[in-house]
């Protein structure tokens, strides 16, 4: 097979051949900088290294951006020698930022300075550089650059290909005075980019380009002369940590086996991705950041040495990590790979940034649902409550607040409940109060609290859960930072029902959610968040019983939870749990030792089957699960599918629902065409609906185009 020209080797333009069975050790060796992630400016430390290059003699070159220098490390030495020594400024021996580095066959070093908009060339031993690209101020003209973050140096011609990030394009600099736009404009189309950071040129294949289209969360391949590219990794505009997804990739490199190596920066990992495959595999790092030898933290760039060992610029850990390669013998094994089933959302879905318009949300924290499907959203980041009519994506503001301590202001909006009269109750933990907003009122009144943060009976601290049972004026609070559940029968004082700090059967550890089964003598279900469990308390009991999760064990098994944030229940003895750190919703029969996943998946993201740190949920009168997908700034609806025996009976008041749609018991009369077990949903307004539970399942329908904010 024809080998490729690598930009990543200072080896007279020769490519390094990787064996087809190449694997890399799980844990790395720190070859430059401190292994503990501490930054510094001496000869053995680094400060935000953004690029690494390795020459044919295994010398390591590090673009030590925070120290405005390039360090060279001899093999087996962790003491660096400064070969480019700069400072902050715009002179030819200075830099404003150091974003990428290339080295030609003669040993000249090329440094990309995005903030000045230029590339300077440093000859060996030189005390200053000369401009070889840009240098004409920041701008969008063909002879200008704008916050460019990546470049590729053709080792045979010294032509520079630059990812002109701020201009959303790729430019080619043939000489310091001759440049041309190759491709790109701002957007998410096949012929566009959104802040591209990295570029690789496949010289063996007619200069095919591979572009790390960073804010579109994808890798684009452009054939020479083409007017558009094709996505070869990731999903356009959808970040996530699944193996078929990327989150702000910053660099891409190709090997002789037609594998891409992608720096998946916000996922803190390096992926190997075969061209034509629908997913990649992790070769370094993990989705979690850290300083352990097997972890990375916001890596920016990679290189390989002549043996194929992988070097990573572990930028936020202020170090260079080396992952040793091995080449096990090839096995004659036939493997059948099932086709990928992950797909992007429907074409009629509109995606946008978070915001404060009538169609957007910012950090929604809770919801409530009317029997007719009208949705109320606690839009915490915008200090308001939005009402969405059924089928509409345009919200009307029914509570309009701002930041502060006044009667129409909030310090935080953490939870919401609505009573049968349409009064909205909002937990404002920062002001240590629950505010009551009557329909149409311009201001709220204090319903409970308002006596400062504390642990007295008339106080609470950081309340993240509120529940008002149907036909009751009692307000139940998850008094999170006091590790207790409190019932307020009057505005004056509350009564501690249960809880204290700890992991015992009578204790909680930062409980976030509370659900009251009023049909079973006010049996409580508590999301005991930091104990990773759901506790059930019978009325009058002195201790609770764990009905889901394992005390103190944060994990993702079907019998485990990790920081559950909310819980609601239905009449058939099922509880629905927001398993927040596992980015999923669990359905759990009380008394069972494990649950099932009904929404979300094992990886976070913005695809239809994914969630990102969900915070709360409700069930509507059809049995659909609605999820507050807080980090994606949206509300997701997972509708219930049943067999043909489905029959729904509704009735009752049209008043607003309480904190949950489902009581744990119901005496409703229902009719189905098959006498199997039924699932009855009931809004707090009294309307009921009955669906046959046999052969039921959940599927995804995105009903509100309220979406994620891009992160990097």
Q: 462-489: per-residue pLDDT in tens?
A: 999 999 988 788 999 999 999 999 999 8
In a domain, 339, yes or no: no
| Average confidence (pLDDT) over 663-682 | 29
| Average confidence (pLDDT) over 511-522 | 90
- What is the predicted pLDDT for the residue at 584? 95
In a domain, 530, yes or no: no
In a domain, 64, yes or no: yes
156 in the same domain as 66? yes
210 in the same domain as 175? no
- What is the predicted pLDDT for the residue at 10? 37
- Confidence class of residue 521 from pLDDT cuts 50, 70 and 90? confident
Asked if residue 227 has pLDDT above 90, the reply is yes
Asked if residue 548 has pLDDT above 50, the reply is yes
E strand map for 74-222: 80-85, 100-103, 109-113, 118-122, 130-134, 150-153, 160-164, 169-175, 178-183, 198-202, 208-213, 218-222
In a domain, 229, yes or no: yes
Residue at which a domain ends, from 152, 183, 214: 183
| Average confidence (pLDDT) over 493-515 | 95
DSSP code, position 125:
T
d(CA 213, CA 203): 20
pLDDT in tens, 374-421: 999 999 999 999 999 988 889 999 999 999 999 999 999 999 999 988
CA nearest to 438, candidates 422, 450, 417: 422
81 in the same domain as 165? yes
Query: Which residues are 181's β-sheet partners?
Result: 171
- What is the predicted pLDDT for the residue at 656? 30
- What is the predicted pLDDT for the residue at 352? 30
Rounded to the nearest integer, the mean pLDDT of the chain is 84
* Residue 103: CATH number of its domain: 2.120.10.30
The three-class DSSP label of residue 671 is coil
Percentage of the chain exceeding pLDDT 90 = 68
User: Do 516 and 524 contact (CB within 8 A), yes or no?
Assistant: yes
Please work out, in degrees rounded to the nearest 5, the angle formed at the alpha carbon of residue 675 by the alpha carbons of 674 and 677: 110
295 in the same domain as 216? yes
| Average confidence (pLDDT) over 90-110 | 95
202 in the same domain as 166? no
The pTM assigned to this predicted structure is 0.68
* Residue 382: CATH number of its domain: 2.40.10
pLDDT in tens, 299-349: 999 999 999 999 999 999 999 999 999 998 865 433 332 222 222 222 222
Residue 94 has, within 13 A of its CA and on its CB side, a CA count of: 8
Q: Containing domain of residue 282, as a range?
A: 196-329
d(CA 435, CA 407): 8
d(CA 88, CA 39): 18
Residue at which a domain ends, from 609, 642, 675: 642
Asked if residue 512 has pLDDT above 60, the reply is yes
160 in the same domain as 58? yes
Residue at which a domain ends, from 141, 157, 183: 183
The three-class DSSP label of residue 141 is coil
- What is the predicted pLDDT for the residue at 518? 84
- What is the predicted pLDDT for the residue at 642? 56
- What is the predicted pLDDT for the residue at 490? 83
103 in the same domain as 124? yes
365 in the same domain as 322? no
d(CA 415, CA 222): 48
Asked if residue 191 has pLDDT above 60, the reply is yes
177 in the same domain as 246? no
In a domain, 613, yes or no: yes
In a domain, 219, yes or no: yes
d(CA 687, CA 369): 12
Please, which residues have CB within 8 angstroms of residue 7's CB and are 6 or more apart in sequence? 102, 152, 153, 155, 200, 201, 253
373 in the same domain as 351? yes
The DSSP code sequence of 376-394 is EEEEGGGTEEEEE-TT---
- Confidence class of residue 165 from pLDDT cuts 50, 70 and 90? very high
- Confidence class of residue 620 from pLDDT cuts 50, 70 and 90? confident
223 in the same domain as 178? no
CA nearest to 434, candidates 465, 399, 398: 465
CA nearest to 5, candidates 200, 226, 271, 272: 200
- Confidence class of residue 354 from pLDDT cuts 50, 70 and 90? low
Q: How many Å is the maximal CA-CA distance in the chain?
A: 88
206 in the same domain as 179? no
Domain tally for the chain?
Answer: 3
pLDDT in tens, 633-672: 999 998 877 533 333 222 222 233 333 333 333 222 222 2
């Amino acid at each position: 097979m024809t080998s490729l020209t690598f930009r990543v080797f200072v080896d007279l333009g020769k490519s390094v051949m990787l064996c087809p069975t190449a694997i890399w050790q799980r844990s790395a060796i720190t070859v430059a900088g401190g292994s503990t992630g501490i930054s510094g400016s001496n000869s053995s430390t680094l400060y935000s290294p953004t690029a690494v290059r390795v020459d044919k003699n295994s010398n390591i070159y590090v673009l030590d951006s925070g120290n405005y220098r390039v360090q060279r490390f001899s093999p087996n030495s962790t003491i660096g020698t400064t070969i480019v020594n700069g400072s902050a400024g715009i002179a030819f021996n200075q830099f404003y930022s150091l974003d990428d580095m290339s080295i030609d066959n003669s040993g000249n070093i090329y440094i990309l300075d995005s903030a000045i908009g230029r590339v300077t060339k440093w000859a060996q031993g030189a005390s200053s550089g000369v401009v070889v690209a840009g240098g004409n101020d920041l701008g969008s003209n063909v002879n200008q650059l704008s916050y460019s973050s990546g470049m590729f140096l053709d080792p045979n011609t010294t032509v520079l290909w630059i990812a002109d990030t701020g201009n959303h394009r790729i430019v080619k600099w043939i000489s310091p005075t001759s440049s041309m736009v190759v491709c790109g404009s701002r957007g998410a189309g096949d012929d566009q980019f959104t802040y591209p950071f990295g570029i690789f040129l496949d010289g063996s294949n007619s200069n095919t380009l591979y572009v790390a289209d960073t804010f579109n969360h994808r890798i684009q391949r452009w054939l020479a002369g083409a007017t558009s590219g094709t996505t070869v990794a990731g999903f356009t505009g959808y970040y996530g940590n699944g193996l078929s997804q990327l989150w702000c990739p910053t660099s891409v490199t190709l090997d002789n086996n037609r594998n891409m190596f992608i720096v998946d920066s916000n996922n803190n990992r390096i992926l190997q991705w075969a061209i034509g495959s629908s997913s990649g595999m992790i070769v370094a790092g993990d989705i979690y950041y850290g300083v352990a030898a097997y972890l990375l933290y916001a890596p920016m760039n990679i290189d390989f040495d002549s043996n194929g060992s992988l070097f990573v610029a572990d930028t936020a850990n202020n170090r260079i990590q080396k992952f040793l390669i091995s080449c096990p013998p090839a096995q004659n094994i036939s493997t059948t790979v099932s086709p990928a089933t992950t797909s992007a959302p429907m074409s009629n879905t509109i995606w946008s940034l978070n915001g404060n318009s009538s169609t957007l949300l910012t950090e929604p924290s809770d919801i409530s649902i009317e029997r007719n499907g009208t949705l109320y959203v606690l839009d915490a980041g915008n200090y308001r409550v939005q009402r969405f009519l059924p089928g509409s994506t345009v919200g009307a503001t029914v509570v309009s607040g701002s930041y502060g301590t006044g009667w129409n202001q909030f310090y935080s909006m953490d939870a919401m409940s609505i009573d049968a009269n349409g009064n909205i109750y909002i937990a404002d933990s920062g002001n240590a109060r629950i505010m009551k907003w009557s329909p149409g009122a311009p201001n709220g009144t204090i319903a409970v609290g308002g006596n400062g943060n504390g642990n007295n009976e008339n106080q609470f601290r950081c309340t993240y859960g509120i529940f008002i049972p149907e036909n009751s004026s009692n307000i139940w609070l998850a008094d999170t930072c006091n590790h207790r559940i409190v019932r307020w029968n009057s505005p004056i004082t509350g009564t501690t029902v249960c809880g204290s700090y700890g992991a015992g059967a009578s204790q909680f550890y930062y409980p976030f959610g509370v659900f009251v089964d009023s049909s079973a003598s006010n049996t409580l279900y508590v999301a005991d968040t930091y104990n990773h469990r759901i506790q059930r308390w019978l009325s009058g009991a002195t201790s609770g019983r764990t009905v889901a999760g394992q005390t103190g064990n944060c994990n993702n098994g079907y019998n485990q939870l990790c920081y559950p944030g909310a819980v609601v229940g239905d009449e058939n003895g099922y509880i629905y749990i927001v398993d927040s750190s596992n980015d999923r919703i669990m359905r759990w029969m009380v008394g069972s030792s494990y649950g099932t996943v009904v929404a979300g998946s094992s990886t976070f993201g913005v695809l239809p089957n994914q969630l990102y740190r969900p915070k709360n949920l409700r069930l509507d009168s059809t049995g659909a699960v609605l999820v507050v997908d807080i980090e994606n700034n949206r509300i997701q609806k997972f509708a219930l599918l049943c067999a043909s025996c489905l029959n729904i009976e509704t009735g009752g008041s049209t008043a607003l629902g309480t904190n949950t749609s489902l009581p744990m018991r119901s005496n409703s009369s229902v009719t189905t065409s098959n006498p199997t077990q039924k699932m009855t949903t009931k809004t707090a307004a009294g309307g009921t609906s009955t669906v046959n539970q046999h052969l039921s399942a959940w599927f995804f329908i995105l009903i509100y185009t309220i979406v994620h904010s891009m992160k990097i």
